[in-house]
């Protein structure tokens, strides 16, 4: 039931290339948050906007995931989202640039594994190129 609920919430989420102020390098902000109004399940988004093969991407992404965990345990989270029930379910949607090689695939897998170790269900979502203006 929990996985089905989280899958339904995540299936409606489509991401485009990240806007300024979001992404792996900006650890002060959550890239996206949604609360299911019926259940209180939490869906967070992490945008990995750097090449997965870059040596700093994995530690930055892991640091940001840990900051999400700390934020969800804080008073500011419960005040901002009183309807949130992380114990019901918490999904981390990892929006990412496509891996260029086996190293990038491995880094993405390790980031996803770290999120699972911290209690998140995960969903990988490749970033779509931003629509060009005509």
* Structure token digits, residue 65: 């995931």
Inform me whether the pLDDT recorded for 101 exceeds 50.
yes
Whether 15 has a pLDDT exceeding 80, the answer reads no
**Mean pLDDT across the chain:** 83
Domains of the chain: residue spans and CATH: 2-8+32-126 (3.40.1350)
CA–CA separation, 27 and 129 (whole Å): 23
Arithmetic mean of pLDDT, 47-67: 92
Residue 66 reports pLDDT greater than 70: yes
Q: What is the mean pLDDT of residues 51-64?
A: 93
pLDDT tens column, 43-53: 999 999 889 99
Strand order in the sheet with 90-96: 32-35, 42-48, 90-96, 121-126
Give the DSSP letter string of 25-68: T-TTS-SEEEE-TTT--EEEEEEE-S-TTSTTHHHHHHHHHHHH
The Cα diameter of the chain in Å comes to: 46
List the one residue out of 34, 60, 66 whose CA is nearest residue 47: 60
Q: State pTM to two decimals.
A: 0.79
What pLDDT score does 12 carry?
Answer: 42
CB atoms within 10 A of CB 130: 10
CB atoms near residue 103 (< 10 Å): 14
CA distance 97 to 5: 26
């Amino acid at each position: 039931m929990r996985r089905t609920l989280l899958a339904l919430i995540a299936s409606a989420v489509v991401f485009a290339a990240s806007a300024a102020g979001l992404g792996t390098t900006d650890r002060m902000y959550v890239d996206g948050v949604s609360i299911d109004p019926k259940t209180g399940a939490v869906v967070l988004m992490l945008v990995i906007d750097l090449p997965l093969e870059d040596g700093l991407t994995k530690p930055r992404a892991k640091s940001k995931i840990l900051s999400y965990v700390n934020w969800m345990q804080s008073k500011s989270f419960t005040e901002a989202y009183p309807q949130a029930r992380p114990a019901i379910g918490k999904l981390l949607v990892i929006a990412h640039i496509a891996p260029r090689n086996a190293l990038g695939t491995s880094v993405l897998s390790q980031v996803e594994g770290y999120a699972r170790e911290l209690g998140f269900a995960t969903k990988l979502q490749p970033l779509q190129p931003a629509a060009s203006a005509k």
